[in-house]
Amino acid sequence: MANRWVLLFVLGVIAVLMAAPLVLTLFTSLKPTTELVNPAWYPPIDLTFEHYIRVWTEGGFSRYFVNTLIISVVDAIVMILIASLAAYAMVFMQFPGKMLLQLLFVLGLMIPVTAVVLPLFQIVRSFGLLNTHLGVIFADLALAVSVFVFMFTSYFAGVPKALHEAARIDGATEFQIYRRVVMPIATPAVVTTALLEFLWSWNDLLLRLLLMTRDEMRTLSVGLLNFQGTMTRDVTGLSSGTVIMAIPVVLLFLVFQRSFVRGMTAGAVK
Amino acid sequence: MFLDPNSKWAARLNPVLFLLPALSIYIIFAIYPTVSVVEYSFTDWDGISPERNYIGLENYRKMFSDKIFWEAFRNTFVWSGVILVINVGLGLVIAAMLARVWKARLLIQTCIVLPVVISPMAVATIWRWMYQPNGVINQLLEGIGLGALARPWLGDPNVVLYALAFAHSWSTIGLSVIIFLAGLQAVDEDLYEASKVDGATPLQQFRYVTMPALRPVTAVVFILTLTQSFKVFDIVWATTQGGPIRFSEILSTYMYKRGALENQYGYGSAIGVALLVIVSVATIIYLQIQNRKEQ
């Protein structure tokens, strides 16, 4: 019995240490400048939102926030569509070259974004898509689509073939079967895809750093990087910016924790 | 006729229609750049001028005799090594403890997993602030009488790489923990009961029951952590940009400097290919383990 309490205590300490960096950042962002002389682990006494307002308006974070939101939402929605359509074809349709296509998608699991950013920049530029939401969206989709094609494929593989056959005999088109029969069953895969793609898109720096050079197109990650470069000593501004960037994904995580955990383990544990 | 689902036309056309959106984006923005990075690596292109000459293996010859490349190469492996020890070792221990606890489990798990969803850019900002000479870490050390250990963590050549690896581990260990937890839940409870009857201590149980049963999951976490740590760019770029001097330079930051900032596109691409090869090999091993587990 005593063992259990020791275990719980150790875990409690670990949990506090893991949460501390986030909590301290939140504390700092809410402190008036006069309280910055206190140690970082002192909670704010006179709560103030002045730093948030400053960063949001003067710091340009409202624009960065909107840009990030547009890209992430479009990424998530389009990813669900294209990955599920492709997976549907891979599972329910017969066509030549299927094996080859599967291999091609496996290749996508291996390509690290970091390694291909230089030519990717050239391609996006040659389409005239530098400094556009669309350029980043295409790059995001392309570099992650494999993961989600396989996620939907393994989900669809569990749909009884008889269900598909029955719908065919009833005269439904493939698209009708996709929409009315298969997709409703695949809701968990849809949720996981939406969450993961949104998260990856929201958090990425490298692609956005390379493809968004004009200030009005910047995302939160690039905005924060820039802010950090020019306002090194602005501790309250930096922590408010960090919190602004973290809040949406933290809320999503807290609400959809189960789906997140399932999605993050799906690739690893079968 | 076109809408007749059983017509020959529909059977031929449908796969194309369903695959086209994903495939066209994928080929143009993922496969083509991958082929291009290999092609560029054989040229002396600067990334801007219309002219580029094929120079054979010159970039690779240069890379293999480039001292900085080898420093970055070495740093990348040290970096991954540190992260492996923390994420696999500590991750397993935390998961094993968590599996034995019911009270407050969700709360503890949430605290550990939450950093996983935080952007590497935000992680970089947070830890840069905490690592400052007058930052939280040093304040804490002084507070508990270990002031002698205080240092400018990101300015000290001997610790910067480890300090950054630690920050990265903070933000990724939650993933290891939940994968291990899922693995632990699959371990046969009877084995624990049997070993308890035989008088095994909890530590012996961990050593002789838990660890062997978790070997496949451990392999998965190991190689997953490895591939992900090889790819890291954001957190290093947003804190030290590889500095001080080159003490935290890893392959991705070095490639970015040469290729994107110094216009040595051909040479940067060669470094990109090196990265591609390393990550691909690790990923193939990962997929192999996954396949074996499924069978």
| pLDDT tens digits, B23-33 | 999 999 999 99
Q: Count Cβ atoms below 10 Å from residue A131 Cβ, excluding itself.
A: 17
| Inter-residue contact B25 to A145 (CB < 8 Å) | yes
**Average pLDDT of the residues of chain B:** 89
| Residue A168: per-residue pLDDT | 86
- CA–centroid distance for A41 within its chain: 30
Nearest alpha-carbon partner for A201 in A75, A97, A84? A75
**ipTM of the predicted structure?**
0.92
pLDDT at B212 over 90: no
Token pair recorded at residue B155? 């300015």
pLDDT in tens, A51-89: 999 999 998 999 999 999 999 999 999 999 999 999 999
- Same domain? For B13 and B86 the reply is no
| Residue A144: per-residue pLDDT | 93
pLDDT in tens, A114-140: 888 889 999 999 999 999 999 999 999
Across the interface, of A120, A205, A252, the residue whose CB is closest to B33 is A120
Cβ pairs A/B, distance under 8 A = 287
Token pair recorded at residue B217? 């999951």
With an 8 Å Cβ cutoff, is B222 touching chain A?
Answer: no
In chain B, the residue whose alpha carbon lies closest to the alpha carbon of A80 is B22
Q: Count Cβ atoms below 10 Å from residue B77 Cβ, excluding itself.
A: 15
- B28 contacts in chain A (CB < 8 Å): 123, 138, 142
DSSP codes, chain A: -HHHHHHHHHHHHHHHHHHHHHHHHHHHHHS-GGGGGS-TTSPPSS---HHHHHHHHTT-HHHHHHHHHHHHHHHHHHHHHHHHHHHHHHHH---TTHHHHHHHHHHHHH--HHHHHHHHHHHHHHTT-TTSHHHHHHHHHHHHHHHHHHHHHHHHTTS-HHHHHHHHHTT--HHHIIIIIIHHHTHHHHHHHHHHHHHHHHH--HHHHHH--SGGG--HHHHHHHHHHH-TT-HHHHHHHHHHHHHHHHHHHHHSHHHHHHHHHHTT--
- A269 contacts in chain B (CB < 8 Å): 179, 182-183, 217, 220
> Which positions 61-100 of B are in contact with A (Cβ < 8 Å)?
94, 97-98, 100
Mean pLDDT score, B14-26: 95
User: B35 lies in a domain?
Assistant: no
Give domain limits for chain A: 1-48, 67-266
Interface probe for A, chosen from B92, B118, B187 (most Cβ of A below 10 Å), is B118
| Residue A107: per-residue pLDDT | 87
| Residue A21: per-residue pLDDT | 96
| Inter-residue contact B167 to B161 (CB < 8 Å) | no
Domain count for chain B: 2
- Same domain? For B161 and B283 the reply is yes
| Residue B250: per-residue pLDDT | 95
In chain A, the residue whose alpha carbon lies closest to the alpha carbon of B124 is A225
Q: Does domain A67-266 sit in CATH 3.40.50.980?
A: no
Token pair recorded at residue A109? 């699991």
The Cα–Cα gap between A216 and B26 comes to 28
Across the interface, of B25, B116, B143, the residue whose CB is closest to A138 is B25
DSSP state of B66: -
DSSP state of B186: T
**SS3 of residue B54 by DSSP:** strand
Dihedral angle computed from the Cα positions of residues B123, B124, B125 and B126, in that order, rounded to the nearest 10 degrees: 50
| Residue A39: per-residue pLDDT | 85
- Same domain? For B4 and B46 the reply is no
| Residue B294: per-residue pLDDT | 62
Confidence of residue B203 (pLDDT cuts 50, 70, 90): confident
- Same domain? For B9 and B55 the reply is no
User: B285 lies in a domain?
Assistant: yes
Q: Do B112 and A14 make contact, defined as CB atoms within 8 angstroms?
A: yes
Across the interface, of A21, A82, A252, the residue whose CB is closest to B25 is A82
* Surface-to-core class of residue B181, CB atoms within 10 Å of its CB (0-12 exposed, 13-18 middle, 19+ buried): buried
pLDDT in tens, B138-182: 999 998 988 889 999 999 999 999 999 999 999 999 999 999 998
Confidence of residue A2 (pLDDT cuts 50, 70, 90): low
pLDDT at B1 over 60: no
- Same domain? For B15 and B126 the reply is no
- Same domain? For B3 and B96 the reply is no
- A82 contacts in chain B (CB < 8 Å): 21-22, 25
Mean pLDDT score, B182-197: 83
- Same domain? For B10 and B137 the reply is no
Beta pairing partners, B43:
B54
pLDDT in tens, A149-206: 999 998 898 888 888 888 888 888 889 999 999 999 899 999 999 999 999 999 999 9
Q: Do A249 and B237 make contact, defined as CB atoms within 8 angstroms?
A: no
* Surface-to-core class of residue A97, CB atoms within 10 Å of its CB (0-12 exposed, 13-18 middle, 19+ buried): exposed
pLDDT at B8 over 80: no
| Residue A4: per-residue pLDDT | 81
Across the interface, of B94, B143, B178, the residue whose CB is closest to A265 is B178
| Residue A191: per-residue pLDDT | 93
- Same domain? For B15 and B116 the reply is no
Confidence of residue A270 (pLDDT cuts 50, 70, 90): very low
In chain B, the residue whose alpha carbon lies closest to the alpha carbon of A83 is B22
User: B36 lies in a domain?
Assistant: no
Q: Do B202 and A3 make contact, defined as CB atoms within 8 angstroms?
A: yes
Mean pLDDT score, B111-115: 95
pLDDT in tens, A214-266: 989 999 999 999 988 887 778 999 999 999 999 999 999 999 998 888 877 76
- A234 contacts in chain B (CB < 8 Å): none
- Same domain? For B25 and B115 the reply is no
With an 8 Å Cβ cutoff, is B244 touching chain A?
Answer: no
Q: How far is A221 from chain B (nearest CA, A)?
A: 6
List for chain B the helix, strand, coil content (%; round to 5).
Answer: 75, 0, 25
Q: Count Cβ atoms below 10 Å from residue A179 Cβ, excluding itself.
A: 12
| Residue B295: per-residue pLDDT | 61
Domain holding B242, by residue range, is 41-294
- Same domain? For B10 and B150 the reply is no
pLDDT at B2 over 80: no
Q: Do B233 and A115 make contact, defined as CB atoms within 8 angstroms?
A: no
| Residue B273: per-residue pLDDT | 93
